[in-house]
């Protein structure tokens, strides 16, 4: 098999030859080895334990805060009249946004036959699941009487009362829960073959049984693969519209109201772009260290980073464009309330938050026009972190500045978060990283089966009749060969 020597910059587009998606001397076996080895280490590294200890205790803080909140009431937060929504909703939108990259990568890129996704999709999907879990937490705790949340569900009852189907909050419940379910299935489905590999390599009885049950008796027969790919394709088709719908619906929470600064028709596309933007940024933020620590450079190549950077650049520019067009629309509409809202964002008491947002989201990503920034993992990491910060502040700006000064000057107010707000937000990161560390420890963090399909060893470059997108049928044999060895 033709091995491509490291290092090689596979981000160059040499005409004629297709740049390889995987580098190094990785053949089918070595990939299995490389990925499984991470999950098979007998005991976690000291770093992992440290990280896990920290994130677990931060999670504990989160639950403490939630308990405190439910015991005393929403008043322990900074929300008030007129700013009745604060950190909770900001964090919700923030996390949901992050929850977009995963399914986008796995579903949309899959349908678009973007092979390079294979090395990162598992990872991104995992992140999606965890982000949506964090997101789901906030709407659940932000209501005044959480014990009555079931009233949002259309259950028949002796009161003969139904929920109000006109309310975007209700749409949210359905949109987010659907998205979560589908993403979860998609993620798990994709993982079954790899779980089977782990099972097969497992030495301890517990791992055998655990992975055995998890892999649902996968044997990699042709029929298995056939069904698997059908289902995968269908799920991808199912997930794709959700990627777009979820954040559109989330944006309706604002767009459907009549509040200046919320009531805007561009919100759905603007939110979706922002979501993808923040999602990819978060993927990078997590991917870069992992890639380094677990030595996955050969699977997650500069080309992957390059592509993701480009997507960030593209969506970042869309977001920046939205920022500017909002001002134009506010001015062009002639609506004085709208006009003031945006002036107030840029120059009012919350101007600082607006300019943090603008710098992080609209200006800094523009650096990615330069190849050097797309190349260097370190610079990418810094930029992606900035984007994360910026995207959180975007939601802060939208929620708080619009509410703090609406129609009647007499009811203008100022919102100040409390320590409970802050700790709850911090805690949500604790939960996110706890789950993520568990994922790193026990599950295959790269979709081996899929990566194998794009390495040279898969023989995809042989023969004229082969080409991207036509190799599905072949993998079972490869797989069986593996077993055969």
Partner 1 sequence: MKNDDGPGRFVFPAWTNLIRPLLAVILVTVPAYLVVLVWLGGSPKTTDVGYRPEQPVPFSHAVHAGQLGMDCRYCHTTVEKAAFAAVPPTQTCMNCHKQVRSTSPRLLAVRESYASGLPIPWVKVHDLPDYTYFNHSAHVRAGVACASCHGRIDTMEVVQQVQPLSMGWCLDCHRNPDPHLRPPELVTAMDWVAPGDPAELGRRLRETAGINPSVDCWTCHR
Partner 2 sequence: MNARVRLAAGVTHSNAGGSRVGRRYWRSLEELADSPAFRTMVEQEFPGLAEELEAPATAATRRSFLKVMAASLALAGLTSCRWPKERIMPFAYRPEGYVPGVPQIFATALELGGAALGVLVKSVDGRPIKVEGNPLHPASLGAASPWAQAAVLELYDPERSTTLVRREGGQRRVPTWDDFVAFAAEQATALRQRGGRGFAVLAEATSSPTVAMLRHALLGMLPAARWVEYEPVSRDAERAGLAQVYGTSLRALLHLDQARVIVAMDSDVLYGHPEALRHAREWGAARRGDGGAMPRLYAAEALLSLTGSASDHRLALPAGRIGALLLQLAAEAARAGVLLPAGLGTVSPFTAGTPEADFAVRAAGDLAQVRERGLVVVGPGQPAEVHAVAAALNEALGSRGTTVTYTIAPDPERRPHLEAVAELSASLADGTTEALWILGGNPAWDAPAELEFAQRLAACPQTVHLSLYENETSRLCRWHLPRAHALESWGDARAWDGTLSVVQPLIEPLYGGRSPAEVLAALVGEPALSAYDLTRRTFASQWGGGEDAWRRALSDGIVANTAYATVTPRLLGDAAGEAGGRLAVRPASGRELILYPDAKVFDGRFANSGWLQELPDPITTLTWDNAATLAPEDAQELRVKHGEVVRITHGGRSVEAPACVVPGQARGVVGLALGYGREAGGSVAAGAGVDAYPVRTAATAYLASGVEVQRTGRRRLLATTQEHHVIDTLGMAERGRRVGSLIREASLNEFQRHPEFAKNATWSQARPLWQEIELKGEHQWAMAIDLSACIGCGACTIACQAENNIPVVGRKQVARGREMHWIRVDRYFAGDPSDPQVRFQPMPCQHCENAPCESVCPVAATVHSEEGLNQMVYNRCVGTRYCSNNCPYKVRRFNFFNNFTKVAATTRMAFNPEVTVRGRGVMEKCTFCIQRIEAGKTAAKNERRPLRDGEIVPACAQTCPTRAIVFGDLKDPSSEVSRLHRHPRSYGILEEIDTKPRTLYLAKLTNPHGAAGEGEASS
Where on the chain is the footprint of partner 2 (CB under 8 A)? 72-75, 78-85, 142-149, 151-152, 161-164, 166-170, 173, 253, 256-259, 334-336, 340, 343-344, 347-349, 403, 405-414, 416
Backbone angles phi, psi at 4, to 5 degrees: -95, 125
Q: Report the distance separating Cα 271 and Cα 267, nearest Å.
A: 6
Q: Which is nearer to partner 1, 6 or 213 (CB)?
A: 213
Residue 154 binding target from partner 1, partner 2, none, CB below 5 to 8 Å by type: none
Q: Which is nearer to partner 2, 25 or 411 (CB)?
A: 411
Q: Which is nearer to partner 2, 151 or 471 (CB)?
A: 151
Query: Using the rule CB under 8 A, which residue among 217, 289, 349, 413 binds partner 1?
Result: 217
Query: Using the rule CB under 8 A, which residue among 41, 145, 219, 295 binds partner 1?
Result: 219
Q: Which is nearer to partner 1, 205 or 465 (CB)?
A: 205
Query: Using the rule CB under 8 A, which residue among 2, 17, 158, 410 binds partner 1?
Result: 158
Q: Which is nearer to partner 1, 16 or 156 (CB)?
A: 156
Q: Please report how close the Cβ of residue 282 comes to partner 2 at its closest, in angstroms.
A: 27
Nearest in space to 249 (alpha carbons), one of 326, 178, 334: 178
Beta bridge mates, 404 = none
Residue 160 binding target from partner 2, partner 1, none, CB below 5 to 8 Å by type: partner 1
Q: Report the distance separating Cα 92 and Cα 250, nearest Å.
A: 9
- Going by C-beta distance under 8 Å and a sequence separation of 6 or more, which residues neighbour residue 168? 249, 252, 253, 256
Q: Please report how close the Cβ of residue 160 comes to partner 1 at its closest, in angstroms.
A: 4
Q: Please report how close the Cβ of residue 6 comes to partner 2 at its closest, in angstroms.
A: 55
On whether the CB atoms of residues 315 and 270 are closer than 8 A, the answer is no
| 201 binds partner 1 per the rule CB under 8 A | yes
Q: Report the distance separating Cα 391 and Cα 406, nearest Å.
A: 23
Q: Report the distance separating Cα 288 and Cα 309, nearest Å.
A: 12
Q: Which is nearer to partner 1, 161 or 237 (CB)?
A: 161
On whether the CB atoms of residues 13 and 19 are closer than 8 A, the answer is yes
Please identify, among the stretches 45-53, 155-163, 275-283, 414-422, the one whose residues bind partner 1 according to the rule CB under 8 A.
155-163
- Burial zone of 264 (CB within 10 Å; 0-12 exposed, 13-18 middle, 19+ buried): buried
Nearest in space to 432 (alpha carbons), one of 46, 179, 129, 122: 129
Q: Report the distance separating Cα 282 and Cα 233, nearest Å.
A: 26
Q: Taking each helix axis from N to C terminus, what angle separates 168-201 and 28-40, rounded to the nearest 10 degrees?
A: 110
Residue 149 binding target from partner 1, partner 2, none, CB below 5 to 8 Å by type: partner 2
Q: Please report how close the Cβ of residue 339 comes to partner 1 at its closest, in angstroms.
A: 38
| 444 binds partner 1 per the rule CB under 8 A | no
Residue 201 binding target from partner 1, partner 2, none, CB below 5 to 8 Å by type: partner 1
Task: Say what the alpha-carbon torsion angle 239, 240, 245, 247 is, to the nearest 10 degrees.
Answer: 90
- Going by C-beta distance under 8 Å and a sequence separation of 6 or more, which residues neighbour residue 344? 350, 401, 405
Query: Using the rule CB under 8 A, which residue among 211, 228, 262, 350 binds partner 1?
Result: 211
| 228 binds partner 1 per the rule CB under 8 A | no
Q: Which is nearer to partner 2, 123 or 254 (CB)?
A: 254
Report the chain's terminal Cα–Cα distance, integer Å. 16
Please identify, among the stretches 44-52, 168-176, 204-212, 254-262, the one whose residues bind partner 1 according to the rule CB under 8 A.
204-212
| 483 binds partner 1 per the rule CB under 8 A | yes
- Tell which positions 181-200 bind partner 1, by CB under 8 A: 199-200
Q: Which is nearer to partner 2, 116 or 340 (CB)?
A: 340
Q: Which is nearer to partner 2, 115 or 405 (CB)?
A: 405
Q: Which is nearer to partner 2, 260 or 390 (CB)?
A: 260
Q: Report the distance separating Cα 307 and Cα 316, nearest Å.
A: 14
Residue 203 binding target from partner 2, partner 1, none, CB below 5 to 8 Å by type: partner 1
For residues 275 to 314, the per-residue mask of contacts with partner 1, x marking binding by CB under 8 A and - elsewhere, is ----------------------------------------
The two tokens of residue 414 are: 């100022």
Residue 79 binding target from partner 2, partner 1, none, CB below 5 to 8 Å by type: partner 2
* Interface contacts to partner 1, rule CB under 8 A: 156-161, 199-203, 208-209, 211-213, 217, 219, 221, 483
């Amino acid at each position: 098999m033709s091995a491509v020597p490291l290092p090689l910059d596979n981000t160059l587009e040499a005409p004629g030859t297709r740049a390889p998606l995987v580098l190094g001397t990785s053949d089918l076996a070595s990939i299995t080895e490389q990925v499984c080895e991470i999950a098979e280490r007998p005991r976690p590294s000291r770093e992992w334990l440290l990280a896990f200890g920290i994130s677990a205790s931060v999670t504990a803080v989160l639950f403490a805060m939630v308990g405190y909140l439910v015991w005393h009431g929403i008043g322990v937060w900074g929300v008030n009249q007129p700013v009745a929504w604060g950190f909770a909703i900001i964090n919700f939108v923030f996390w949901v946004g992050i929850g977009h990259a995963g399914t986008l990568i796995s579903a949309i890129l899959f349908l678009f036959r973007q092979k390079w996704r294979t090395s990162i999709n598992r990872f991104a999907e995992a992140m999606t699941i965890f982000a949506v879990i964090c997101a789901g937490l906030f709407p659940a705790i932000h209501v005044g009487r959480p014990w009555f949340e079931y009233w949002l569900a259309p259950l028949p009852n002796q009161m003969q009362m139904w929920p109000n189907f006109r309310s975007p909050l209700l749409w949210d419940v359905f949109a987010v829960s659907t998205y979560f379910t589908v993403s979860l299935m998609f993620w798990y489905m994709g993982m079954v073959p790899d779980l089977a590999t782990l099972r097969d390599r497992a030495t301890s009885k517990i791992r055998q049984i655990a992975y055995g049950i998890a892999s649902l008796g996968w044997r990699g027969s042709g029929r298995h693969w056939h069904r698997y790919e059908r289902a995968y394709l269908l799920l991808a088709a199912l997930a794709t519209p959700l990627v777009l719908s979820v954040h559109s619906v989330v944006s309706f929470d604002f767009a459907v109201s009549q509040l200046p600064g919320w009531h805007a028709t561009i919100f759905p596309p603007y939110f979706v772009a922002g979501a993808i933007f923040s999602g990819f940024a978060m993927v990078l933020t997590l991917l870069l260290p992992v890639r380094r620590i677990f030595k996955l450079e050969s699977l997650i190549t500069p080309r992957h980073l390059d592509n993701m950077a480009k997507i960030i650049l593209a969506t970042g520019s869309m977001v920046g464009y939205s920022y500017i067009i909002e001002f134009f629309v506010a001015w062009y509409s002639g609506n004085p309330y709208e006009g003031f809202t945006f002036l107030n964002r840029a120059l009012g008491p919350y101007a600082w938050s607006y300019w943090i947002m603008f710098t992080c989201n609209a200006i800094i990503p523009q650096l990615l026009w330069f190849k050097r920034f797309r190349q260097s993992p370190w610079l990418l990491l810094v930029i992606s972190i900035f984007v994360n910060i910026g995207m959180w502040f975007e939601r802060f700006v939208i929620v708080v500045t619009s509410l703090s000064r609406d129609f009647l000057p007499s009811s203008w107010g100022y919102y100040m978060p409390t320590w409970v707000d802050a700790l709850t937000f911090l805690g949500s990161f604790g939960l996110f990283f706890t789950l993520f560390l568990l994922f790193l420890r026990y599950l295959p963090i790269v979709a081996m089966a899929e990566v194998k399909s794009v390495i040279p060893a898969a023989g995809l470059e042989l023969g004229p009749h082969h080409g991207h997108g036509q190799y599905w049928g072949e993998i079972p044999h490869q797989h069986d060969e593996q077993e055969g060895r």
